[in-house]
Amino acid sequence: MTTIDATPDTGNKKDSPSNPRRRVYRPNTRYIPILATLALLVIMYGGAVANYENFGQPSVVVNLFRDNAVLLVVTVGMTFVILTGGIDLSVGAVISLTTTLTATLLQGGWPPLVVLVLVLLIGSLIGAGQGAVIHFFKVEPFIATLAGLFLARGLALFINQQSIPIRDETWKAISEYRIPLADGVVTKPVAVVAVAAVLIAAAVLAWTRFGRNVYAIGGSADSALLMGLPVGRTRIAVYTLSGFCAALGGVLFSINSTSGWALQGNGLELDAIAACVIGGVLLTGGSGYVFGALLGVLVTGLIQTIIIFQGDLNAAWTRIIVGVLLFAFIVLQRLVTRKAK
């Protein structure tokens, strides 16, 4: 369009790039962070396969989903929140509340299905409450969900400060159930739930009005409002969804550990946020994909797996190496993304 037409009535200005600076070579910038993450993930995986015996076995990859099912589910919810430009710090605490409540209720002899529905409902309610406070009272998401964090963990501690074992048969049965995928490769139901969550979320974001409204709000909430989109409803729904995902993550956690404890899921919110960022979901909102967040979770999971394969690392070194790898990853991704632009 800018290639100048001094005679403006020439009518059709076909596909001429509107502005050389903005248009050339930039059709797919949206995918660059994801592709960079994917490439680096593959490189890291390749390096690990070359260095450690047995790393190349398919079970290593399959187990990534099993071991990170909780984080994955929570990250899915977090992705929605971050896409609207918000943040949810309460997810780790909602997990601890969920596991504590689940274990307590199951111990009290409640029917498992009722417990499941109840804890999912409570998680969603906490999310909805945060969303309402953020939307109606214009409290910053960071602060509103920080208060939610205190509240949820406070409730969990109030219920019980000790770890409570789960002896319910249903929970145990799910925990011990194995799904054969291929010869010698099995996985757990929790992994299936997590993968399903990712797929559903991706579909919702890509193909529903709700999903597109999420992106629109993240792009510009003011514009979205002027375009007549249901900004308030969407924003509250997003936090509700995140609360639901956190509660679901809590259920998965309680299945994995067959116990409930108020300190479970401590700090998980930061892992989820980090996974989103590594996967190219911008903290400012409006840009990113669930599959990117999935890659982010796999990166952190792979780092953990490598550390386990390394074997002789103590807790101190584990933390340091996680930090160093995180650092290397973010810097590399930053360089790749910057180059591509």
Partner 1 sequence: MTSLLKNRLFWPAAILVVMLVVNAFTSNQFITVRDGHLFGSLIDILRGSAPLLLVALGMTLVIATGGIDLSVGAVMAISGAVACLLIRDLSDQNSVGPVLLIMLVAVGVSLLAGLWNGALVAVVGIQPIIATLILMVAGRGIAQLVTDGQIINVQSGPYATIASGFFLALPVAFLIAAAAVVLITLLTRRTALGLLLESVGGSPTASRLAGIRARRITVMVYVVSGGFAGLAGLIYSANIKSADSISAGNLIELDAILAVVIGGTALIGGRFSIAGTVLGAVLIQAMTVTVVAVGVPSEATLLFKAVVVVALCLSQSPVFREKVFGRFTPRPAARAEVPAS
Partner 2 sequence: MGEQSPVLEMTGIRKVFPGVVALDGVDFRLFPGEIHALMGENGAGKSTLIKVLTGVYTIDGGQVRLGGEVVHINGPLQAQQAGISTVYQEVNLCTNLSVAENIFIGREPRKFGRIQWGQMRRRASELLARLDLNIDVSAPLNTYSLAIQQMVAIARAINVPTAGPAATSATGTASGTGTAAGGGAKVLILDEPTSSLDASEVAQLFAVMRRLKADGVAILFVSHFLDQIYEVSDRLTVLRNGQLIGEYRTAELPQVKLVEKMIGKELAALEDLEDKAQRSRERTAGAEPIVEARGLGRAGAIAPFDLTIHAGEVVGLAGLLGSGRTELARLLFGADRADSGELRFAGKPVTLRDPQVAMKRGIAFSSENRRTEGIIGDLSVRENIILALQASRGWTRPIPRRRQDEIVEKYIKALQIRPADPERPVRNLSGGNQQKVLLARWLITEPRLLIIDEPTRGIDVGAKAEIQKLVAELSDGGMAVLFVSAELEEVLRLSHKIEVLRDRHLVEELQNTEGVDADRIMQTIASGATS
User: Footprint of partner 1 on this chain (CB under 8 A)?
Assistant: 89, 133, 135-140, 142-144, 146-147, 149-151, 153-155, 157-158, 161, 225-226, 230-234, 270, 273-274, 277, 283, 314-324, 326-327, 330-331, 334
CA distances from 128 to 1, 46, 91, 237 (A): 46, 43, 13, 7
Q: To the nearest whole angstrom, how small is the minimum distance from the Cβ of residue 140 to partner 1?
A: 5
Q: Is 2 in the site for partner 2 (CB under 8 A)?
A: yes
CA distance 255 to 280: 30
Q: Which does 149 bind (CB under 5 to 8 A by kind): partner 1, partner 2, none?
A: partner 1
CA distance 236 to 127: 8
Q: Is 138 in the site for partner 2 (CB under 8 A)?
A: no
Q: What is the Cα gyration radius of the chain?
A: 22
The count of C-alpha atoms lying within 13 angstroms of the C-alpha of 297, restricted to the half-sphere facing its C-beta, is: 31
Q: To the nearest whole angstrom, how small is the minimum distance from the Cβ of residue 222 to partner 2?
A: 7
The end-to-end CA distance of the chain, in Å, is 22
**Cβ-based nearer residue to partner 2, 110 or 215:** 215
Query: Which one of 61-69, 156-164, 202-210, 264-272 is the stretch in contact with partner 2 (CB under 8 A)?
Result: 202-210
Q: Is 57 in the site for partner 2 (CB under 8 A)?
A: no
**Cβ-based nearer residue to partner 1, 120 or 133:** 133
Q: Which does 13 bind (CB under 5 to 8 A by kind): partner 1, partner 2, none?
A: partner 2
Q: To the nearest whole angstrom, how small is the minimum distance from the Cβ of residue 322 to partner 2?
A: 32
Q: To the nearest whole angstrom, how small is the minimum distance from the Cβ of residue 310 to partner 2?
A: 41
Q: Which does 19 bind (CB under 5 to 8 A by kind): partner 1, partner 2, none?
A: partner 2
Q: Is 12 in the site for partner 2 (CB under 8 A)?
A: yes
Q: To the nearest whole angstrom, how small is the minimum distance from the Cβ of residue 217 to partner 2?
A: 8
CA distance 129 to 126: 5
CA distance 152 to 55: 39
Q: Is 229 in the site for partner 2 (CB under 8 A)?
A: yes
CA distance 203 to 215: 14
Nearest Cα to Cα of residue 130 among 12, 244, 3? 244
Identity (one letter) of the amino acid at 64? Answer: L
Q: Which two tokens stand for residue 180?
A: 């054969």
Q: To the nearest whole angstrom, how small is the minimum distance from the Cβ of residue 123 to partner 2?
A: 25
Q: To the nearest whole angstrom, how small is the minimum distance from the Cβ of residue 298 to partner 1?
A: 17
Burial zone of 178 (CB within 10 Å; 0-12 exposed, 13-18 middle, 19+ buried): exposed
**Cβ-based nearer residue to partner 2, 44 or 217:** 217
Nearest Cα to Cα of residue 62 among 173, 172, 182, 198? 182
Q: Looking only at residues 253 through 292 of this chain, which bind partner 2 when binding is defined by CB under 8 A?
A: 286-287
CB 30 within 8 A of CB 287: yes
Q: To the nearest whole angstrom, how small is the minimum distance from the Cβ of residue 204 to partner 2?
A: 10
Q: What are phi and psi of 6, to 5 degrees?
A: -70, -30
Query: Which one of 25-33, 54-62, 163-171, 320-328 is the stretch in contact with partner 2 (CB under 8 A)?
Result: 25-33
The Cβ of residue 29 has, within 10 Å, a number of other Cβ atoms equal to: 12
CA distance 190 to 320: 29
The residues of the shown chain that bind partner 2, judged by CB under 8 A, are 1-6, 8-9, 11-15, 18-23, 26-27, 30, 206-209, 212-213, 215-216, 218-220, 222-224, 226-229, 286-287
